[in-house]
Amino acid sequence: MSDSYAMRSFADAIRKKERGFITGNSVYLPFHCEIIRIWIGKEMSLLSTPEVIVDFCDSGDIGMREGRFYTNLVFRKWRDLQRELGHHKGHIIINAAEKGADLFRSENLHYIRISFKDDRKELEFELIDNPFDL
């Protein structure tokens, strides 16, 4: 891996409490990862469960690009994620592995919860065990 394009670990970013940001329907993550699935969950009810957004078979729902130090996810069916999920109303969950990790080893797969706090554009990250038990 060259110095001009160093991959950023999500485990390191979460441990260091790095923050991402959101603008409209675009989420910026301060790390790189191999994404398996993405869910959006609403926190309005104890009965609500996350909705699978994409498993990357059909790329019409989400766009993804990587910069040198970030990953950008664009949720095409949403206009304002902050309004819909901010103030602790919801979250995004990513099932992912570190870049270059063996996807066939279960210990390499993790769930990353992306939280929208208050009215700020900042995102917080945490590793969770089960996306259906929040």
In a domain, 133, yes or no: no
| 12 in any annotated domain | yes
- What's the confidence (pLDDT) of residue 65? 92
The pLDDT value given to residue 27: 95
For the full predicted model, state whether its pTM sits above 0.85. no
The structural domain count of the chain equals: 1
Q: DSSP readout, 15-81?
A: HTT--EEEETTEEEESS--EEEEEEEEE-S-TT--PEEEE-SSSTTSEEEEE-SS-EEEEETT-S-H
**Residue 26, pLDDT above cutoff 90:** yes
pLDDT per residue as tens digits for the range 45-80: 544 555 555 555 555 788 889 999 999 999 988 888
In a domain, 134, yes or no: no
Degrees to nearest 5, angle at CA 75 with 86 and 109: 90
Residue 98 lies in a domain: yes
Domain that holds residue 30: 3-128
Q: Do the domain assignments include residue 106?
A: yes
Q: Which two tokens stand for residue 100?
A: 């270059």
Is 71 inside any structural domain?
yes
Residue with tokens 């993790």: 110
Q: State the CB neighbour count (10 A cutoff) for residue 45.
A: 7
